Each structure stands twice: as C-alpha cells, then as structure tokens.
Amino acid sequence: MQALNPYLPSWEYTPDGEPHVFGDRVYVYGSHDRFHGHVYCLNDYVCWSAPVDDLGDWRYEGVIYLKTQDPFNQDGSMCLYAPDVTQGPDGRYYLYYVLDHVSVVSVAVCDTPAGRYEFLGYVRHPDGQLLGTREGDEPQFDPGVITEGDHTYLYTGFCWAHDASRHGPMVTVLGPDMLTVTQAPRTLIPSAPYAAGSGFEGHEFFEASSIRKFGGLYYFVYSSVVMHELCYATSSYPDHGFTYRGVIVSNNDIGISSYKPAGKPMYYGANNHGGLVQIGDAYYIFYHRHTDGTNYSRQGMAERVQLLPGGEIPQVEMTSCGLNGGPLPGKGTYPAYMACNLFTQEENMYTGGSGSNGFWLDGRFPRVTQDGRDGDEEPGYIMNMTDTATCGFKYFDCRGVKRITLRVRGYAGGYFAVKTAWDGPELGRVPLKFSNIWTDFSADAAIPDGIQALYLTYHGSGSAALLSFTLE
C-alpha cells in the first residue's frame, strides 16, 4: 500500500508523534489537536499503528486515555500535552505525560501497547514529594522516556530563549516501580542563556524532549528556540556528555538548499515535535506540520533519514512520500492535502508570522483544511489559492505523463501553471472557471520522465480550492 504524508487520514490531527516498534507493529503516540481548535491538544489521547512491513496501512486503535482520568483533571479543564510510552521491566507499557497547567509528570499503565491505559500515579521523589513541586525543581514538560533494565530515564523541560531560571532539559532516573526518582534531575544540554561555548548556539533547547538509542549512541531529539526545526545531540551515555550534531528536519524546510535557497521557507512553520525510530533496516524521523492556518490543528508527518557511521543524520526535506520507501507512481489521482510545499510570493516563515493575524494566517495565504467539524471524516483540501499561491508535491516516478486534471471549486478566474520546480518553466496551464462544486479541469502537460516534483501555481483573480490532481 502506498504511504503518503501526512501518514494518517486527512481528518486526523495527532502531532508530537513518538513512534515505537512493539512486536511486529509501529505505534505512534502523540497529543491530539482539534480541527478548528482554539488551543493546543484539546482532545483525548488516541493511538494509531501500522505493520512494520506496510507503513501505508495505518489502523486506528481508538482512544487510549481520557484527560479526565487524571485525578488533577477530573473536570477536564486541562489539556493532555505531548506524551511518550516505554515498556517497563515488568513487560507492561507506561504512558508519561504532563497536563498543561501543572508541573508534575503523570503516569498511566496498560498491559498492551494500545489498550486502555489506567492512571498509575505521579513521578515522585523518595520522600513522596512530587517531582516538579519541591523547592529547586524546575518545571516539568513534554516527557520523553527510555527504559534499560530496572532504570527508566525521564527527559523533561521547557525553556524560553531568555528565561535564565531554566537551565535546559533535565534527565531524571526512575526505579523499577516507574514512579520513584532514584537519581535527581540533572541538566542534559544548556538553555539559551547558558549556551555560550557549548556548540548549541543558535539551536538551543526549547521543548520536545525525545530519546532513542541506536548502536552505542543515545540520540536526544528536541525542538530548538527557532521552533520549526528538530535538532539532535548524541552521547555514549544516557544522562550526560551530549554534543550538538545538527538539524534533522524543519517543518518549513529552512536549511535545505538542494532545490531552493537554504533560507527560503516552503511551508508555514511553527513549533515542532517528534522522534526517531528504526523500522526494519530503515530509520525515520516523525514530526508535524500546521494546517487550517493556525497553530492548533497539527498533523503527523514522517521522513526517512540516514544514520551515517559516525552517528550523523543529514537534514532531510519535507516530502509527500515520507514513509513510502521511494517516490510515488507518476500516474493516478492524489489528494491535494499531501502538499509538502505551500507558499506565495510573500514569504512567511511561521504560521503566526508577519503578514498574518495573531496565530492564524489571513486570507492571502493558502492553507490545508477540511469541511465539517472535528471528527468528521471529510477529505482535506487546500483553500485560499490566490494569485501566486503555490503548492508542491514531492516526489513522483513519472513515465509518459502527458496530461493533468485538477479538481477545483471556488470563485477563481485564472489558471494553474504546472511545473516540476517551484521556480521552473511552465509545462502546461489548466484554465479555471467559477464553480460552486468540485469540478474537473484538464490540460495537456508533458512532464519529463524520471523522478520529479510537481508544483501548481495559481495566477488570476479570486480564490481557488484544490481537492486533488490526476496524472495521466
């Protein structure tokens, strides 16, 4: 089965994805945004999984934990922020999370990876005081966990760039009960006020701790103070010695220079969160993108990465085919929501950047969205395709493509230019007419054989919405 980005259905908003292989399936645990949500993480935790040998066949495992199961949140007034899961020494599965208005780490447990988790307790010091509440404890946030033998290493932290009261992400060691601290928190890498001379300058820790071990190296993945990028540091030890190694992925492709200038944003970025996973012989980074023109309706994405012999991971592009194992066939119909590039001639690096209104993009900017309400299984599409708006899809293995059909609606009087590079020559023009319903418009467009990107740029008056395209 083909695998697209985002890898879950277009109506699912599960960001902060932490992928783990348990048995013959990969499970993704994340927070759960709401379509048209007004803040982050409004919904309960759900889980999705896929066979390790078919990363296009994702299965909904259902709700695994309700926000009201936490004793501190019986009225449901707090949100479940980004979680992580680890298998404990007793073989059970432990879910670690932090609510949005308290600085303690909650733990739930389940006998299976994606069953119904039950509240277990709060991470606590040996004297019973909750971690995060004792004098000297720094605030807990976004836990990442890894278990080795009877020890579980818990990574937490949130550090604004200019907040000197927070020294960086912390690592705390827990005992076999998965709750009790056996090694007090210690700073893993520096926050921005303390980064001078560390090698982390310009990419200091912000949030989103994630930990993995491959071979003899521990990989600490985190979101830096520039927000849109996931960086990583490595060490031979789980609790010290980490050095900065680079950026793995950016959710607006800043830093990628293979197909455009390195500083040019190709999507509307914002915060980022995800983790590494090995599936078979391949490695992947999971991350998220922002949709609906807001920060609060995020979707899971994934890209294949390389782990070089010295532990280096070169930065990867955002693509439309991340888990596919290669380019998509250059024939057939594809949904427009899988666009990995989305921009206009007026550059915006962030969803809430200059030229936008608060934390949402205004009507000048294209966005991925859907009809209906949160939970409605409505197909995603791109709206606000106004003059110069461009959507890009990467990559396709094209053989003999001579024609393209676009499914469009809206008051649009113009055409879509068909290209294989964002700044490349037109290979065809698809003229549009005003339409209140989804309508097919076609044109000849000879796309060269080989591995190609596809870019569609709108020129004209009004605003078009794009549901899908067909390569023939």
User: Residue 260 class from Cβ within 10 Å (0-12 exposed, 13-18 middle, 19+ buried)?
Assistant: middle
Locus of tokens 């190609």: 452
Locus of tokens 């520096």: 190
Residue 1, pLDDT score:
86
- As a three-state string, the secondary structure of 346-391 is CCCCECCCCCCECCECCCCCCEEEECCCCCCCCCEEEEEECCCCEE
Radius of gyration of the chain (CA): 22
Compute CA distances 290 → 67, 100, 431, whole Å. Answer: 23, 20, 29
Residue 147, pLDDT score:
98
Q: Judge whether 454 and 389 are in contact, CB under 8 Å.
A: no
Q: Catalytic residue at 16?
A: yes
Instruction: Give the DSSP per-residue string, 257-307.
Output: -SSS-TT---S-B------EEEETTEEEEEEEEE-TTBSSSEEEEEEEE--
Residue 469, pLDDT score:
98
Q: Catalytic residue at 177?
A: no
The reply to whether omega before 395 is within 30° of 0 (cis) is yes
Residue 251, pLDDT score:
98
The active-site residue, picked from 16, 138, 142, 253, is 16
Instruction: Give the DSSP per-residue string, 419-432.
Output: ESSTTS--SEEEE-
Residue 465 identity:
A
Residue 466, pLDDT score:
98
Report how far residue 65's alpha carbon sits from residue 69's, in angstroms, rounded to the nearest whole number.
7
Residue 375, pLDDT score:
96
Q: Judge whether 364 and 437 are in contact, CB under 8 Å.
A: no
Residue 352, pLDDT score:
64
Domains in the chain, please, with CATH?
Answer: 18-326 (2.115.10.20), 329-471 (2.60.120.260)
With a cut of 70, list the residues of the chain below it in pLDDT: 352-363
Helix (H) or strand (E) holding 153, with range, is strand 151-156
The active-site residue, picked from 18, 84, 142, 207, is 207
Residue 350, pLDDT score:
87
Compute CA distances 245 → 116, 220, 307, 375, whole Å. Answer: 38, 10, 12, 39
Nearest of 322, 177, 312 to residue 244 by alpha carbon? 312
Question: What one-character DSSP code corresponds to residue 411?
Answer: S
Assign 68 to helix, strand or coil.
helix
Nearest of 400, 393, 404, 402 to residue 450 by alpha carbon? 400
Report how far residue 144's alpha carbon sits from residue 156's, in angstroms, rounded to the nearest whole number.
7
